[in-house]
A and B are shown apart, each in its own frame.
Chain A
Amino acid sequence: MDNMGFLFAANAFVWGGIIYYVYTLKQRNRALEKDLDLLKETLSKEG
């Protein structure tokens, strides 16, 4: 069972990295969708 800590660290980095990237991707998309809806609303009010 030697080197279990190294295996755990590698596993944690891979999953942590993937989860963090997916989270930031979702956050950025959500913010952009919000901006787009706001812009559309403003344009429809003006037009």
Chain B
Amino acid sequence: MSPDEVEDKEEESNIMVWLTGSALLAAMIGIFIYVPTERTEGVIQRIMYFHIPCAWLSFFAFFVVFICSILFLWKKDREWDIYAHASAEIGVVFCSLVLITGPIWARPIWGAWWVWDARLTSTLILWIIYVSYLMLRAQSDAGSMRARYAAVLGIVGFLDIPLIHFSVLWWRAFHPQPKVITSEGIGKGMDPSMLATLGLSLCAFTLLYFLLMGERVRQEQLKDEIDRLKREKLYSS
């Protein structure tokens, strides 16, 4: 990469940091100042503005793993493998936050930290699948058979996401049914300020995903460059 290209990349990264930071700040103002307190649940309902964006981000990250894993198995191009690995790590971080914020929200509302409800259980299974994916990746070298096994796991793991989505509709569940996207439309029955705040929070978390992806992909590229130079050094000596 030429020095000009490096400078351009740094400038792009700085713009992204500022954009994401501003969006997150605006979302926080929306959550704690702008949005009204919900009538039945009270102040605790504000957790929704973190909980849903964390869930969205993790599902989106695992969707990227699914697509990139298919492309890696098809094209055998290491770039797709890098994107899948990076996205899986981010997905696991945010899925962990979903599994932490959910029980904190549930405790005062349901009177229990955890229930073996279909949605909660299928989300826990999703988390376990992608933690296993990362454990498998931690032992694998680039381009090895294990990278292919990880890609298969990344594809199979994603099949749990439709199950998570429909679980509250198919089975009797503690977890509330979808309120944002329903058969009547988007945000019907929701206060417009609540919908706007949730939308803003979702946008901010999506920007955060792209920012984290940029950093995580760069990490894998640096590792590859180091491996390449080490091999070069080994052959030259």
- Whether a CB of chain A sits under 8 angstroms from the CB of B173 is no
A22 to B211, CA, bound (A): 10
Chain B window 83-113, contacts with chain A (Cβ cutoff 8 Å), 1 for yes, 0 for no = 0000000000100110011001101100000
Does B180 interact with chain A (Cβ within 8 Å)?
Answer: no
> How many A-B residue pairs lie within 8 Å, measured between CB atoms?
82
Q: CB within 8 A of A13: which of B44, B100, B229?
A: B100
Give the interface residue-count category, chain B: 20 to 34
Interface string of A8-47 (1 = CB under 8 A from B): 0111011001100110011011001101100110110011
**B residues neighboring A (CB under 8 Å):** 42-44, 46-47, 50-51, 54, 93, 96-97, 100-101, 104-105, 107-108, 208, 212, 215-216, 218-219, 222-223, 225-226, 229-230, 232-233, 236-237
Q: List 8 A-B contacts (CB under 8 A).
A: A2-B43, A3-B42, A7-B44, A10-B47, A21-B93, A29-B218, A29-B219, A39-B233
Residues of A within 8 A of B (CB): 1-4, 6-7, 9-11, 13-14, 17-18, 21-22, 25-26, 28-29, 32-33, 35-36, 39-40, 42-43, 46-47
